[in-house]
Amino acid sequence: MNIKSIKELVKGEVWRQCSERLKGEEATEVLHKLFDHIVLALATRIDNVKTDDGKTISFFSKGREFLTINITRKDLRIYIHPAARAFFDPEAGFQVEKFRFWDGSYHKSSGKYRAMSMWISKMKYIPGVKEIIKYIPETLNDVNK
């Protein structure tokens, strides 16, 4: 799907709802930058984007949700699902407010995790999120980086 088509899936009403939900201007700006980066970095992977009344923005590939932005009142919580086919070293550290690997996503043969959550609300954490997103293959055919 092309970048313009992906961006058109999130309507102005959704952005308004997200802005109302988030309490700070900086968190709203982070949301827009995060969304733009995900679309730019993973456009070849994204088949669909669904929203839920300004509470979530979910990205799909081959009908499976692989990344979700959860909009809370104070921050953004990003979920990278196992369907993303990313692998995270349990010893890795990331420059975000907080992150957590999903226990149930541990991949025994690789010794890595396949899913995680991270929390951000400030612009200074955007570079850290961009680094994490690099773990997600751009297509389902890519070998994990």
- Give me the tens of pLDDT residue by residue for the chain, a chain 145 residues long: 788 889 989 999 999 999 999 988 999 999 999 999 999 999 999 999 999 988 999 999 999 999 999 999 888 999 999 999 999 999 999 999 999 999 999 999 999 999 999 999 899 999 999 999 999 998 766 544 4
In a domain, 140, yes or no: no
In a domain, 138, yes or no: no
Count of domains for the chain: 1
In a domain, 144, yes or no: no
In a domain, 71, yes or no: yes
* pTM of structure: 0.92
In a domain, 91, yes or no: yes
What's the start-to-end Cα distance of the chain, in Å? 22
Q: Can you give the residue range of the structural domain that contains 76? A: 3-133
In a domain, 45, yes or no: yes
CA dist 59 to 39, 42, 68, 93, 110, Å?
Answer: 9, 10, 6, 24, 26
